A and B are shown apart, each in its own frame.
Chain A
Amino acid sequence: MLGAVTAISESVHFIGAFDPQIRTFDIIMKTANGSSYNSYLVRGSEGVAVMDTVKKEFSGAFFKRLELLCDYDEIKYIVLHHLEPDHSGALIELMARAPQAKLIISGRAVMMLKGLVKTDIPFEVANTGKVISLGDKTIEFLSTPFLHWPDTMSSYLHEEKILFSGDVFGSHYYDERLFDDEVGDFSYAFKYYYDHIMRPFKQYVLQALELYKRFDISLIAPLHGPVLRSEPQFYIDKYAEWSSEEKFRKHQFGKKMLSVFYMSSYDNTQKMAEKIMEGADSVEGIVASMYDLASLEERNMIDLLEESDGIIVGSPTINGDAVKPAWDLLACMAYLESVGKVGASFGSYGWTGEAPEMLHDRMRWLKFRLPVAPLKIKLIPTEAELESCFTFGVEVAEITMGKIVEMEI
């Protein structure tokens, strides 16, 4: 297939590489038929721009395709929309072959570039509004951070209305027919990619979509999977829908959702959970609910966590640790946005009682707001202790509703 370099448009060609053998991507994603590392070459009247490279092991295919289209001394710019190694793997070799080329990266990519190449190489920083010219072709940059790394940016080729979206709108789906209207049904891979890569950054997705609105887009060229040319707005609308949907309908009426997740060995942590929920639910505007982690499937955990404004996790301490389902629950946050969510932890214990602090610490690293100290009670809660659980629930709920926390350090 290397003899045929696919034209994306009049001046843009695909020079990426296909990886039909890969089955697990970035540890967290599965792909049933492989993926692609998309890279593009843009030709203008005064030179060439290479938009991203490929994973290092696939450099051979990338350079062969590139050489079919241009000489290295024609390359005026190398643009890296995102520095992850699957897109920057051929960078050092490309810069060695085209030393006159200017490397364009985002401001947030500067430190990452140094870590990646372990040497000083010249570069220019692009923020929203920066424009580069290839003579009769103009490329404008857009800062679209956190999609899915802090460094991510996008760019737009004005004359051909092409959006180079970085990882946004990508799919781990291998099909050398390349275009969305020619490949097989990749809709599941498109959604799966969104769920695993973009869902934790929904607010940033919406921010990027606002920037994209400035442009008339006739084709989207992402960094993985099919090139989207049949109806780009369809894919943009899907991202908008997934990033703004709220399953918890009461949010629409100004209510906030607080979920108490727990596991209990001898009903003691459960009794705490019930009282905490009762306290939380007594706060105006809060709808509190409780869930036994012993019977909650992962996909339901993810949905509940996503919709919850406040999340309280309870676990007894067994062998000096919180129980596995509590850790499994918090592991689901890898798929979600935690910024702004209020967290808290609690548990009954017999001997050492580390679990609530351990959960609290884990939630801190997950960037929850944790204004209330963990609550732990030795064995069977007394009436007075259950009252402290009620107060704990009230306090977390009030903060979830916007009460200002006063502290001194």
Chain B
Amino acid sequence: MVTIFLQNDNIRVKVPVDTTLRDVALRTGASMEFGCRVGDCTTCVAHVRSGMELLNTKTDKELRALEMLGGDVSQLRLMCQCRVLCEEGEVVISYGLQC
């Protein structure tokens, strides 16, 4: 199981491989905001503080959407596009104004 720490909400949740972060938000009641849910609008942008390597890699589509936000997007992800890839480790995420 991978541990996901949702910083804004002080929630630490253990999830199995292949879990989507959208599902994590839904099932934990975390306060992430979602818009289009298909990787276009960037409403669900989050800062991955650590554990980026435990998540699926960014697709070209996600990268294009993130680049429209400007600045350094290397640690940013769209939560609607993220999935846990590994069996163990910890991912720390912040979002909204703390992104």
Contact = CB atoms under 8 A, between A and B. Distances in A.
A107 B68 contact: yes
B11 A405 contact: yes
A339 B29 contact: no
18 contacts: A107-B70, A108-B41, A108-B43, A108-B68, A108-B69, A110-B40, A111-B41, A203-B97, A369-B9, A370-B29, A371-B29, A404-B10, A404-B11, A405-B10, A406-B12, A407-B12, A409-B27, A409-B28
B28 A125 contact: no
Contacts of A338: 31
Taking residues whose C-beta sits less than 8 angstroms from the other chain, chain A's interface range is 20 to 34
B32 to A, nearest CB: 8
Interface stretch (B13-21, B50-58, B75-83): B13-21
Interface in A21-75: none
A307 to B, nearest CB: 18
Contacts of A108: 41-43, 68-69
Interface string A326-362: 0000000000001110000000000000000000000
Contacts of B97: 203-204, 207
Interface of A: 107-108, 110-112, 125, 127-130, 143, 150, 203-204, 207, 338-340, 364, 367-371, 399, 402-409
Contacts of A150: 35, 41, 43
Contacts of A204: 97
A338 B9 CA distance: 12
Contacts of B30: 369
Contact of A111 (B11, B19, B27, B36): B36
B10 A364 contact: no
B31 A369 contact: yes
Contacts of A369: 9, 11, 29-31
Interface of B: 1, 8-15, 19, 23-24, 27-31, 33, 35-36, 40-43, 68-71, 96-97
Contacts, number: 85
A403 B19 CA distance: 25
Task: Name the residue among B19, B70, B71 with the largest chain A CB count within 10 angstroms.
Answer: B70
Nearest to A150: B43
A143 B27 CA distance: 32
Contacts of A203: 97
A327 B13 CA distance: 31
Contacts of B36: 111
B31 A111 contact: no
Contacts of A405: 9-12, 28
